[in-house]
Homo-oligomer: A and B are copies of this chain.
Amino acid sequence: VSGEFAAIDRLRRALPTPGPGETWIGDDAAVVRAPGGGWLLLAADTLVAGVHADLALTGLDDFGWKAVAVNVSDIAAMGGRPLHALVTVAGPPDTGLDLLYRGIAAAAAAYHCPVVGGDLANAPVLVLTVAVTGTFEGAPLLRSGASPGDLVYVTGPLGLAAAGLRLLKEGKLAPAAALDAHRRPAAEVAAGLAARAAGATAMIDISDGLAADLGHLAEASGVGLALTELPVGDAATLDEALTGGEDYVLAFTAADPARVGEAFAGLPAPICVGRCTDDAATRTIGGRPLPAAGGWEHRWS
């Protein structure tokens, strides 16, 4: 049995080489040239009922919102803005499409990312797939650009989504912020644009958990990570902040804290959580090893 990342790598090796300046599989979104000369960002993510969400705990409208928001988050993580969405619903005939559409349409409106097409098909289980396009101005902002000495920032508290899900499962009263983080995650488009303006050298969104996702960034950049302290969300544990995932805050690296402060004027200030080191094997928090595991991987034989 192998993991999702190994399986993706098998596909990647079967593909031709990207064009000049392009990035295909391996970042939050693909970076390709648009017809006419601009940059186009492309991303797709799928949510499976019972795997990615328990529909006894989450409404179909929340499920629809989340499918759009997690895709927009992939565009935000490139310092881009979303343009259009394609929505594909495969599900049983009794799927409550109107409620599902309500959440999809709400997220599409919130992120200025209209649904321009898609497909609708019957399947034994609800599988909701969204593909988004986006664009950016300037140079591609990838996972791989961090240098030793760059500061590491996150754009919001961590662990809220995991805490919200845990409290829902336990039937306990959860803080609104934790419930919202689980049910209606926000894509940080404005923060992504600010990070780009701040001269961010690398960026990723926290979908698999901070430890896993910063690990992806550090590995792609060939740097180590010496983290200090994390902004742990209310009601969340440190473990949830490190490995819970699905927070969809952005993590980015940048060299100049003054520039970061200026670029985020009017937005919640990003929190510095540590620094990139030149020893690529370093992965510490408060001097102790970062948890190596964490982050959900789908299984493939």
Interface residues of A (CB under 8 A from B): 1, 4, 7-8, 10-11, 14-16, 18, 22, 24-25, 29-30, 32, 34-40, 42-48, 50-52, 83-84, 86-88, 90, 93-95, 97-98, 101-102, 104-105, 108-109, 114-125, 127, 129, 131, 133, 135, 298-301
* Contacting pair B133 A97 (CB below 8 A): no
Residues of B close to A18: CB separation below 8 A: 116
Question: Which residues in B have their C-beta under 8 angstroms from that of A39?
Answer: 35-36
Our pick among B93, B124, B129, B300 for the contact of A97 (Cβ within 8 Å) is: B300
Instruction: Please give, as numbers and ranges, the residues of chain B lying within 8 Å of A43 by CB-CB distance.
Output: 86, 117
Query: Which chain B positions have C-beta within 8 A of A102?
Result: 14
Q: Is the CB of A25 within 8 A of B300?
A: no
C-alpha gap A117/B11 in the complex (Å): 10
Chain B residue with the shortest CB-CB distance to A29: B117
- In the complex the two chains form, is B42's CB within 8 Å of A34's CB? no
Q: Which residues of B contact A301 (CB under 8 A)?
A: 93-95
> Given A114-B16, A119-B44, A125-B123, A35–B83 Cβ distance below 8 Å?
yes
* Closest CB in chain B relative to A126 CB, distance in Å: 9
- Most-contacted residue by chain B among A29, A45, A102 (CB, 10 A): A45
Q: Of all chain B residues, which has the CB nearest A70?
A: B119
Q: Which residues of B contact A114 (CB under 8 A)?
A: 15-16, 24
B45 touches A105 (CB 8 A): no
Report the bound CA distance from A288 to B88 in whole Å: 38
Instruction: List, in ascending order, chain B residues with CB within 8 A of A38's CB.
Output: 34-37
- A31 to chain B minimum Cβ distance, whole angstroms, is 9
A44 touches B101 (CB 8 A): no
Q: A109 to B16, alpha carbons, bound, how many Å?
A: 9
On whether A35 and B36 interact (CB within 8 A), knowing A10-B97, A10-B101, A300-B93, the answer reads: yes
Show 6 A/B contacts (Cβ-Cβ < 8 Å), sorted by A: A18-B116, A32-B83, A48-B90, A119-B129, A120-B298, A123-B127
